[in-house]
Amino acid sequence: MNGRVAAVRLVDVSRTFREGSHSVVHAVKNVNLEFGRGTLTLVMGPSGSGKTTLLSLVGGLLAPSEGDIEVDSVRLASLSPAALTEFRLRRVGFIYQRFRLLDALSASENIELPLTLAGVSRPKSRQRAVALAARVGLDDRLGARARSLSGGEQQRVAIARALANDPPVLLADEPTGSLDSVAGQRIIELLHGAATEGASVVVATHDERLVPFADMVVRMEDGRVVDVARG
């Protein structure tokens, strides 16, 4: 943790899934981790190692079968479903491998979406979208429909959307997985920048190019943390 305050704390966290009527899959097993504020953490491992499940648990998308998760001093188990929805809106930003923009909306409208959901007024959300677009280098593409943007541009819009409510935690699942090396490099820089500005950025990835930027690299296998290396 490099002495920084923990933004995310997982204590003895496990998550199982039922597969059929008898089989149980242990997607995450007895994980104990802390992700600090202002750090970039990589969660690496082969497919099926539990990286995405770990992100879903931290993001409040899945509840752990066992253990406790605390994000930004909030114990997720204590939250009602409505409070959990509010938590995701204000305290977590999500970035997906396939961008997950709403195709029919413009880049600006996609960025404004979390702000609109948070009840921010139209002029203020617009102003924020302009600032975020400038930050990710898309100020000239604000009016473009999401589907007309390149993969790299779409992912930058997704990052701007994730940053819209200035969340303390940013979770990215294979953010460079669908991009070429140049676009991928830009995304790495943006995620590193977000961490530098104080967010706890947790990235599930296979991409070794991110390692030099990471403060901590967590390696997983079969749902277990097998190695934690601090930068």
Partner 1 sequence: MVARDAVRFAITTGGVGMAVVLMFFLLALYRGVRIESNGWVSSRPAAVWIAQVNTTNFIKASSFLPAAVADAAREQPGVAEAMPLLRLITLLETGQRHLTAIVVGIDSASTLGQPEVVEGTSQLSPGDIILDGALSRRLGAKPGDTLRIEGRPFRVTGISRGTNSVLTQFAFITFEDASSLLGFPGVASYVLVRALPGTNADTLATTLRASIPKVAVLTQLDFADNNMDELRGGLLPILATVAVLGGIVAVAVLTLLLYGSVLERREDYALLKAIGAPSRVLATVMMGQAFAVVSGGVIVGLGVYAIAVPVAARLAPAVPLALSAGTVIVVSACAFVTGVIGTLLPLGRIARIHPAEVFRA
Interface mask toward partner 1 for 83-112; x: CB under 8 A: --xxxxxx---x-xxx-x-xxxx-------
164 sits in the region (left: phi over 0; alpha: psi -120 to 50; else beta) called: alpha
Q: Per rule CB under 8 A, is residue 61 in the interface with partner 1?
A: yes
d(CA 228, CA 34): 11
The smaller minimum CB distance to partner 1, of residues 37 and 145, is found at 145
Under DSSP, the state recorded for 79 is -
Binding partner 1 (rule: CB under 8 A), the pick from 28, 54, 62, 217 is 62
The smaller minimum CB distance to partner 1, of residues 25 and 61, is found at 61
The smaller minimum CB distance to partner 1, of residues 61 and 130, is found at 61
Of 35-43, 54-62, 133-141, 207-215, the segment contacting partner 1 by CB under 8 A is 54-62
Binding partner 1 (rule: CB under 8 A), the pick from 25, 117, 120, 130 is 117
Which of these, 164, 155, 217, lies nearest to 187 by C-alpha position? 155
Q: How far is the CB of 110 from partner 1 (least distance, A)?
A: 10
- 3-class SS of residue 129: helix
Q: Per rule CB under 8 A, is residue 128 in the interface with partner 1?
A: no
- 3-class SS of residue 27: strand
Q: Per rule CB under 8 A, is residue 152 in the interface with partner 1?
A: no
**Which residues inside 153-212 make contact with partner 1, applying CB under 8 A?**
161, 173
Q: Per rule CB under 8 A, is residue 114 in the interface with partner 1?
A: yes
By CB atoms closer than 10 A (0-12, 13-18, 19+), residue 117 is: middle
Q: How far is the CB of 226 from partner 1 (least distance, A)?
A: 22
Ranges of H-type helices in the chain? 51-58, 81-91, 107-117, 122-135, 151-163, 181-196
Q: How far is the CB of 85 from partner 1 (least distance, A)?
A: 5
d(CA 214, CA 150): 26
Q: Which residues share a beta bridge with 10?
A: 33, 69
Which of these, 99, 220, 196, lies nearest to 150 by C-alpha position? 99
Q: Per rule CB under 8 A, is residue 125 in the interface with partner 1?
A: no
Residue numbers at the binding site for partner 1 (CB under 8 A): 52, 55-56, 59, 61-62, 82, 85-90, 94, 96-98, 100, 102-105, 113-114, 117-118, 161, 173
